[in-house]
Amino acid sequence: MTGAYLPGNSTVELKEAAVPEPGHGEVLLRMKASTICGSDIRCIYHEHLGKGPEGYQGVIAGHEPCGQIVKTGPGCRRFGSGDRVIVYHISGCGVCNDCRRGYMISCTSERYRRAYGWQRDGGMAEFLLAEEKDLIHLPRELSYADGAQVACGFGTVYEGLQKIGISGSDAVLVTGLGPVGLAAAALCRKLGASRIIGIDVIPERLKLARDLGLCEEVLVSGPDNVAEIRRLTGGQGVERAVDCSANDAARATAIRATRKWGRIVFLGEGGRVEFNPSPDIIHDQKTIFGSWVTSTWLMEELVERLVRWNLHPADLVTHRFPLDRVSEAYAVMASGRCGKVAVCFDEEL
């Protein structure tokens, strides 16, 4: 089979690899959709910057895989051939406290914690070897590209929104309208938020957020953002803010544009932020949450909700490429002038 590797100089290398044989508790997936994440670009594509859980070990890339089981190894207990599945993108040891909570992202086993596309082969290939315990059932109502979006981005956003709580009484600010920010707006809408304000620097992203009806207002990132948001919210600010930008100025905006008693969650990775604790959070009784990926059980809950809401994460996919054009896929994603970028197979292309 062919697999895509990221040597780290903003290029992609296609190489031949053997089709793996599933061992005990493992399954072989025919890949159907594999989306590209901002973290692939940030930590691997340009340069191998990541350490520890973000250290890339020269494996087949792609940590947002979705496909169909074509073979199961001995000892599988739930899934079988023909099942459509999402792969929770970190395979943990299964028995540490974090794994038992379903947060394999935080698995503490140095020996057994391996993320797909980082430390073990990922979804940018014709087939993927996965552990059965990492799989989430993909209902018929959702496409494989919908599922790939859940594997990382939508799952991560859903977790963060659960932490801050979103309801019909909330105006929400989303800073950073890349795929994660767009997902945040889409989920906030389904959770009842009627007024969603988005901020970004890239015109294509602002346009996409507006065209898809995900934001009532979009603002070009700048020093007046806090005043603009206050103006749009009767002088008070938003009840909830979600940072998906990892930009220091945008994070400070998210904090300052949130009203008294409001909640802010940081999802964007890397970078810094500077704010003044007393006026910016303490005196206004605000809470800032950090949130990293999600758990397997919350991912299952999200999939169920997506069907109920008739929400299709693949609507945010603006570019699809076949595997032999995977280089173009990463280049488009690195440009930022896009929504989500996917490598697709068979009927998903």
Residues that bind Zn ion (CB under 5 A): 37, 39, 92-93, 96, 99, 107, 109, 152
Categorise residue 105: left if φ over 0, alpha if ψ from -120 to 50, beta otherwise: alpha
Separation between Cα atoms, residue 206 and residue 222, nearest integer Å: 14
Please, are residues 149 and 316 in contact by the beta-carbon 8 Å criterion?
A: yes
DSSP state string for 189-214: HHTT--EEEEEES-HHHHHHHHHTT-
| Smallest distance, Zn ion to C-beta of residue 46, A | 16
Residue number with CB closer to Zn ion (99 or 218): 99
Q: DSSP character for 150?
A: I
| Minimum CB distance to Zn ion, residue 192 (Å) | 26
| Helix H or strand E segment including 99 | helix 97-100
Beta carbon of residue 157, minimum distance to Zn ion (angstroms, whole number)? 11
Give the per-residue SS3 of 112-128. Answer: CCEEECCCECCCCECEE
The first and second tokens of residue 305, run together, are 């909700």
Minimal distance, residue 340 CB to Zn ion, in Å = 11
Query: Which uninterrupted H or E stretch holds 33?
Result: strand 26-35
Under DSSP, the state recorded for 75 is T
In angstroms, give the least distance from the CB of 268 to Zn ion. Answer: 12
Residue 71 DSSP SS3: strand
Minimum CB distance to Zn ion smaller for 42 or for 286: 42
Whole-number minimum distance, CB 81 to Zn ion, in Å? 28
User: Shortest distance, CB of residue 35 to Zn ion, whole angstroms?
Assistant: 8
Triad 33, 34, 36: Cα angle to 5° = 140
Nearest Cα to Cα of residue 91 among 129, 58, 59: 129
- Closest to Zn ion by CB, 92 vs 262, is 92
**Residue whose Cβ sits closest to Zn ion:** 37
Least separation in angstroms between residue 94's CB and Zn ion is: 6
Q: Which is nearer to Zn ion, 70 or 298 (CB)?
A: 298
Q: How far is the CB of 266 from Zn ion (least distance, A)?
A: 16
| Two tokens, residue 162 | 């659960």
Nearest to 307 by CA among 133, 125, 136: 136
The 10 Å CB-count burial string (b at 16+, else e) for 182-211 is bbbbbbbbebebebbbbbbebeebbebbee
Instruction: Using the minimum distance from each CB to Zn ion, give the nearer residue, 105 or 164.
Output: 105
Between 1 and 96, CB nearer to Zn ion: 96
Q: Which of 37, 171 has the CB closer to Zn ion?
A: 37
Task: Say which residues have a Cβ less than 8 Å from residue 235's Cβ, sequence separation at least 6.
Answer: none
Nearest residue (CB) to Zn ion, 88 versus 345? 88
Name the residue nearer to Zn ion (CB basis): 178 or 262: 178
Tokens of 195: 């007024």
CB contact at 8 A, 221 and 247: yes
